[in-house]
Structure 1
Amino acid sequence: MEKLISLHKHWLNADAVKEVVATEIGGDHGLPEGLAEFAELHSSFARLSVLYGLIYVVIEGYKELKCTNPKVDE
C-alpha cells in the first residue's frame, strides 16, 4: 500500500506541474525582447521536461506494481 501511496504522490506532483506548464511567466524583466522570448521558451521546455519525467515515473510505477484498471488498460 505504501508504494501505491507514493505513486499517487508522484501523480499529484505531475498534476501540479501540469497546471504550471501552461502559465506564462511574463512580466517586465528589463531584458531585450528577443532574449526575454528565448528565456520564456527555455523555461517552458524545462517545465515540460519535469512534467514528462514525473509522468514516466508514474507509468513505470503503475507497471511495476502490476496495477490494473479496466478503463486504463483497454
Structure 2
Amino acid sequence: MNELRNRAWRRFKNRINSGRGIGTDDCWKPEKNWKMVYLRSEKLSRARQLGFEYPRKDIRQLLDIELINGE
C-alpha cells in the first residue's frame, strides 16, 4: 500500500483527531454585530431567527399598509 502522506494529509488528520473535526458547529458562526451583516437577504433571515421584523416600520407605515390591505 503506497499512500501519499504529505503535509496536507497530516494537517487534515490532525484536525480530525484534535476534537475540532469537520462535523462540528465551530466552522460557522453568525455575525454578532448587526452592522457587519452586509446583504439584505442575510439581514432578513437573521431578523427572522432573532424574532423581529426587518426593516423596522414606524406606526405611520403600518397604518398605511393596513389601509391598503383593508380596501
TM-score past 0.5 threshold: no
| TM-score with structure 2 setting the length | 0.25
Greater helix fraction, Structure 1 or Structure 2: 1
Higher relative contact order (CA 8 A, sep 6+): 1
- Whose radius of gyration is greater, 1 or 2? 2
| TM-score with structure 1 setting the length | 0.25
